[in-house]
Structure 1
Amino acid sequence: MAGSAAVEFRIDRRSGVATYLQIVQQTKQALRLGVLEPGDRLPTAREVVEATAINPNTVLKAYRELEREGLVEARRGLGTFVRRTLGTAAGASASDSPLRTELADWARRARSAGLEKDDVSALFTAVLESTYRPDGT
């Protein structure tokens, strides 16, 4: 699906996370979920500035970081393009993965059990943090 990507950045000025890092994180999430694929063009700095009212240098800093990580490449006069995706096996889409299906089923069960979105998020984050401890335990 090479072309212009349908990714929109949402900037939370109260999050405490640097604006450029929010763009980097949201781009990586789109790569993991298959929203962005190799060949897709990221929004131009001007498009991001118009949509979010942030400084163009902030967008460029985020794109440089993504380029440094080998995820995108800047093509002079053409834009910034996705080079590779994240978190999927070759040819597989994260949106079609069995793990995503299981997680979606789990989220539906949690909602049916009366948990609010914030409760589910906190529970998932706690499990994620305990599973991915730096000490490996």
Structure 2
Amino acid sequence: MHHSCSSLVLWGLAVVAFDFRIDRRGGIPAYVQIIQQVQQALRLGLLEPGDRLPTARAVVEATALNPNTVLKAYRELESQGLVETRRRHGTFVTGTLGASSADSPWHAELADVAARARASGLERDDLAALFADVLEDLYSSKEPDVVSPQP
């Protein structure tokens, strides 16, 4: 999942420039991709409470999605308690998700795996697809595998 995010402050209001990347060939509904990308940005600290999401109109213009698709994603994010829509003002981040710490042993281990994959010539999107496949296999099974990161 690729996205870019930057923020600036205008008139005391945090405005976030956030680009949604929609994969129309992946089989994941576009509204789900929007939800997942907002959730990921929250986990990574790229979005924080008070940040304003792009307007539905801006997302439609940038992605050529149906406006109802974008609105469906925003409504779902609101039902999850992650955003709040304020009439005539926009949609604002109100919730957070557990951030993964950069000093976590899991972060270090995943960074090592990613570095080795890159050194072997694996492209970013290929690694992301491979990791998504591994996660799907792991989390779709009924019995969780217990693995601890190496210290």
Report 1 or 2 for greater relative contact order, CA contacts < 8 Å, sequence distance ≥ 6.
1
The amino acid across from 2:33 in the alignment is: Q
More strand as a share of residues: 2
Which residue of 1 is the match for residue 122 of structure 2? 116
How many residues are aligned here? 131
Pairing 1:1-137 to 2, within 5 Å after superposition: 3-88=14-99, 94=100, 96-98=102-104, 99-112=106-119, 114-117=120-123, 120-121=127-128, 123-125=130-132, 127-129=134-136, 131-137=138-144
Q: Over residues 24-54 of structure 1, what are the superposed CA-to-partner deviations in whole Å (9 max), with x where a residue is unaligned?
A: 1111111111111111000001111111111
Give structure 1 stretches of 5+ with no counterpart. Answer: 89-93
**Alignment RMSD:** 2.4
TM-score, normalization: structure 2?
A: 0.73
**Residues of 1 paired with 2:36 and 2:143: CA distance?**
24
Percent identity over the alignment?
Answer: 61
TM-score, normalization: structure 1?
A: 0.80
The amino acid across from 1:27 in the alignment is: V
Rate the CA distance shift 1:12–1:133 in 2: closer, same or farther, 3 A: closer
Rate the CA distance shift 1:97–1:65 in 2: closer, same or farther, 3 A: farther
More helix as a share of residues: 1
